[in-house]
């Protein structure tokens, strides 16, 4: 099968425009993960590039299928100027490498935690993985490969992450919606959870 990364980058460019910055991180024993930055008006988007090079494999499988299996890239959208969100590049690369490093299958509804603030002063150490298909359309690949999904990341405060573990992703998203939460605010406070 042809290398999927040029197709993935082309899909990102068609949906988000030309990247104005990019950084690459390589972790020992993994493929390189790039993070591209796209600036459009009052929104900055960071997208991983490299996570979808291989399908994510069930960590309990004896042998990983080199073609079949879910593929994804991650997209984080924030408002610039209130925090140094460009420092999120390394944590995003860590999340993008997690299927290779930890054997995770990243899917909507999952929580991913980097164990440190996503950027300096951020009230978030984890993100909620949202459904694909909105901002960047899924990228269909030749059979039998699964499509590449572009999964939005929604930063969560530690209280929100704990609440989500008990009540579920849908309940947290409902709280955000009811509270009129600006999920792109890099310094927002936790939504009321009582």
Reported confidence tier of residue 193, pLDDT bands at 50, 70, 90: confident
Q: What is the mean pLDDT of the chain?
A: 92
- pLDDT above 60 for 2: no
What tokens were used for 144?
Answer: 């039998």
The pLDDT score that the predictor gives to residue 1 is: 46
pLDDT digits (tens, 9 = 90+) for 48-61: 999 999 999 876 77
Residue 41 φ/ψ region, left for φ over 0, alpha for ψ in the -120 to 50 degree band, beta for the rest: left
Pairwise CA distance, residues 19 & 69, whole Å: 28
Pairwise CA distance, residues 106 & 70, whole Å: 9
Pairwise CA distance, residues 12 & 76, whole Å: 13
Strands 71-78 and 111-113: unpaired
Percent of the chain with pLDDT strictly greater than 70: 97
Reported confidence tier of residue 170, pLDDT bands at 50, 70, 90: very high
In this prediction, residues 11-20 reach a mean pLDDT of 97
The pLDDT score that the predictor gives to residue 59 is: 67
Beta bridge partners, 111, equal: 128
What tokens were used for 102?
Answer: 């930890």
Reported confidence tier of residue 100, pLDDT bands at 50, 70, 90: confident
Looking only at Cα atoms, what is the longest distance across the chain?
51
Residues ≥6 apart with Cβ < 8 Å to 14: none
The pLDDT score that the predictor gives to residue 160 is: 97
In this prediction, residues 134-148 reach a mean pLDDT of 93
């Amino acid at each position: 099968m042809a290398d999927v990364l040029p197709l993935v980058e082309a899909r990102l460019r068609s949906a988000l425009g030309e990247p104005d910055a990019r950084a690459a991180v390589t972790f020992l024993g993994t493929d390189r993960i790039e993070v591209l930055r796209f600036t459009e008006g009052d929104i900055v988007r960071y997208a991983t590039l490299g996570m979808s090079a291989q399908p994510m494999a069930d960590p309990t499988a004896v042998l990983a299928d080199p073609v079949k299996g879910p593929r994804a890239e991650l997209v984080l959208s924030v408002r610039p100027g209130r925090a140094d969100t460009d420092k999120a590049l390394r944590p995003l690369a860590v999340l993008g490498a997690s299927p290779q490093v930890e054997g995770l299958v990243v899917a909507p509804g999952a929580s991913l935690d980097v164990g440190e603030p996503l950027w300096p002063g951020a009230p978030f150490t984890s993100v909620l993985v949202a459904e694909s298909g909105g901002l960047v359309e899924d990228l269909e690949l030749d059979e039998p490969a699964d499509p590449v999904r572009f999964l939005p990341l929604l930063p969560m405060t530690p209280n929100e992450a704990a609440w989500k573990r008990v009540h579920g992703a849908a309940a947290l998203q409902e709280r955000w919606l009811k509270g009129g939460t600006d999920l792109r605010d890099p310094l927002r406070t936790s939504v009321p959870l009582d």
